[in-house]
């Protein structure tokens, strides 16, 4: 497991924040996991309204506010330390995570992606673009993936995946809605697994230990 202490989670989001809310609601009464902070890079992000409604502190911290990456990383780390954060969950966060933050939170940063990685991932592949690419490719299955975050886009070890069938009448919007329901379900599950189970990383896979008895 990541730590024997309760997880104090910061959720990073750039958009509407439905996955942020799904995590916050799921862990609201949990003794071992709690969403303690919302971080966005956009002052107009809808996630900030959700955070206010849920009574969760929120910050806007963007690389454009700083003259160097070091200043940006220092500001992030200072804010995370101030709120006692020991785990980060990315939820529609559209900025590359700087290496200084990854070094501090190695294997304690997760991301949710709306496809079955490694398919339809990488730089620029987010939101509607992913679902449009799935339909253009003619594949019969897509899905959602929770993975650990490393220094590249969507390449970190995979924690949990769930497939979603692609229908002949699907549009990107229809497909996105079905995938989002899966995201809301498996993202909390993945964080619970990492918090409660021993695991090891083999290549691009997170292997969760099986406990007998």
The helix or strand, by DSSP H or E, that contains position 55, with its residue range, turns out to be none
Rg of the chain on CA atoms, in Å? 17
Report whether 69 contacts 63 (CB < 8 A): yes
Selected catalytic residue, list 83, 113, 131, 211 = 113
What 3-state class would DSSP assign to 29? coil
**Which of these, 1, 95, 74, 91, lies nearest to 37 by C-alpha position?**
91
Burial 137-146 (b: 16+ CB within 10 A, else e): eeeeebbbbb
Instruction: Respond yes or no: is residue 113 known to be catalytic.
Output: yes
Q: Which tokens is 99 given? A: 């290496």
Cα–Cα distance list, 116 to 138, 188, 198 (Å): 14, 17, 24
Q: Which tokens is 3 given? A: 């730590």
Would you name the residues annotated as active-site residues?
113
């Amino acid at each position: 497991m990541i730590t024997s202490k309760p997880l104090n989670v910061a959720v990073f989001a750039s958009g509407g924040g439905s996955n942020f809310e799904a995590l916050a609601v799921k862990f609201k009464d949990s003794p071992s996991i709690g969403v303690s902070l919302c971080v966005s890079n956009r002052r107009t992000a809808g996630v900030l309204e959700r955070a206010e409604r849920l009574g969760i502190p929120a910050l806007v911290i963007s690389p454009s506010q700083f003259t160097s990456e070091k200043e940006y990383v220092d500001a992030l780390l200072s804010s995370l330390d101030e709120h006692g954060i020991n785990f980060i969950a990315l939820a529609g966060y559209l900025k590359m995570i700087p290496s200084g933050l990854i070094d501090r939170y190695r294997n304690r940063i997760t991301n949710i992606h709306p496809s079955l990685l490694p398919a339809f991932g990488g730089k620029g592949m987010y939101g509607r673009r992913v679902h449009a690419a799935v339909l253009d490719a003619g594949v019969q299955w897509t899905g959602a993936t929770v993975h650990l975050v490393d220094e590249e886009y969507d390449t970190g070890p995979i924690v949990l995946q769930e497939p979603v069938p692609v229908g002949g009448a699907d549009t990107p919007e229809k497909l996105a809605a079905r995938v989002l329901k899966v995201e809301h379900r498996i993202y909390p599950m993945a964080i619970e697994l990492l918090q409660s189970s021993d695991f090891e990383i083999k290549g691009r896979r997170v292997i969760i230990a099986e406990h007998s008895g």
